[in-house]
Amino acid sequence: MSSEAQTITEVSAQDVEEAERLKSEANAYFKKQDFNAAIEFYTKAIEKNPNVAIYYANRSFAYLKTECFGYALTDASKAVELDKNYVKGYYRRAAAHMSLGKFKEALKDYEYVTKVRPSDKDAKMKYSECNKMVKKIAFEKAISVEDNKKNISDSINLDAMTIEKEYTGPELEDGKVTLKFMKDLMELYKKQGKLHRKYAYKILLDIKAYFMKQPSLIDITIEDDDKFTVCGDIHGQFYDLMNIFELNGLPSETNPYLFNGDFVDRGSFSVECIFTLLGFKLLYPDKFFMSRGNHESATMNQMYGFDGEVKSKYTAQMADLFTEVYNWLPLAHCLNKRVLVMHGGLFSRDDVTLDEIRKIERNRQPPEDGPMCELLWSDPQPQPGRAPSKRGVGCQFGPDVTKKFLELNKLDYIVRSHEVKNDGYEVAHDGKCITVFSAPNYCDTMGNKGAFINLNGRDMIPKFTTYEAVPHPNVKPMAYANSLLSLMC
């Protein structure tokens, strides 16, 4: 019996009809961009009739929209298994591979489509683009000798950069960031102006030198009566970042902040976001903190827009320098020895200690597994135990895993980001695992609120502020993203 024959399940005519009805309902939710509801109804259709490739391909697309790349890949593969000639299944699988940075695997699927549809211009274009990326990555690997690889930062000559007379934007004072500079910078960005490249490079060189001296886990002390604010993903939504400062006050010595990763990508004002955040970090190094997210990586930046945006607004050299800076970002912060904050989540092992996190060698691109990967990529799940990640990277961890980790490390709870939540936040695992997400109406489509957390040193009880998206100039999210992602936008 062939493997194809084994996948066919006996289904009644009534179930076939009901499955089609459920698919239509799912499609309607998808059109309204309610992707979670669409997934729910595609799943019901599959339960009624598991033999139809299009149900899996459609659910795969909805999973892509909700960044569940691992699930999207599984569904696309199932669609192809059910119908070897279903071209859309190969497209979906290629998109899932691309989203995970697996360009060689994506190329195989695009290659198949071009063979079965030799006159399909779209397939040819995608194959050609993907092939270019695979070759570029292979070339970069070949020329980079890790042992004596030169740092971009060593090759930058600030003295050779002149400030043109026409430049009227903010200026560093004696090479330093001041509060006036930061206020002028934010006003410049609100009007869609650009910081001079000399100052932009200076900020990057200074911040890299600072981060290089920091441990992978930063300990923060919050005094009893002091307020401390934790923000989640910003994703290039500069005008929403300005709204946070409007609602909660500008960062200062008495108004400290922690931004918990994913400052860039998707939103098309990522350059403005990152320079604002790095500027405040230089201005208040002991009162303003930044964690690395899974989008502070070269692969994600090439796919989701930051790399393209930096090249458009500045240079390819600066895009490479950002990669060097991101490699030195701290991976986690511990507040008053009671609360651990990281971008993604917990681990595939039960014995990970704060000391192990502190000692992680982080100056690299995120690995595909292990504690550094999991800090950036993992997600909580409601059921106990662990499961493979819906994203295809990291792991999913249940309330029992959270409890054990907290007990081992004598902590009260964890705060993480990394996932869109309708209210901008979610309290899970018996109050021990908090998600905060600060990009409202994510990608201009999700309709979610944003949120930030305030707490004080005395009781460390989280208080949530939620807010709606504010208007921004007419530049769509993903404007600078890789053209291959057009399938997913």
Which string of DSSP letters, residue by residue, matches 200-215? HHHHHHHHHHHHHTS-
Vertex 142, ends 136 and 143: CA angle to 5°? 95
Going from the C-alpha of 410 to that of each of 45, 201, 340, the distances in angstroms are 46, 41, 10
CB 436 within 8 A of CB 233: no
SS3 182: helix
Which is catalytic among the residues 97, 196, 235, 295?
295
Sign of CA dihedral 123, 127, 128, 130: positive
| Cα-based distances in Å from 66 to 34, 391, 421 | 10, 9, 11
Which of 302, 202, 289, 301 is closest to 251 using CA atoms? 289
Residue 292 CA to residue 218 CA, distance in Å, equals 12
Encoded tokens for 327: 């490699």
Give, as one character, the DSSP assignment of residue 146.
G
Residue the block writes with tokens 């409601």: 382
CA–CA gap between residue 52 and residue 50 (Å, rounded): 6
**Helix, strand or coil, per DSSP, at residue 325:** helix
Q: At residue 228, what is the residue type?
A: F
Collapse the DSSP code of 402 into the 3-class scheme (helix H, G, I; strand E, B; otherwise coil) and give the result. Answer: helix
97 in active site: no
| SS3 assignment, position 439 | coil
Which 3-state string (H, E, C) describes 9-62? CCCCHHHHHHHHHHHHHHHHHHHCCCHHHHHHHHHHHHHHCCCCHHHHHHHHHH
Catalytic residues: 295
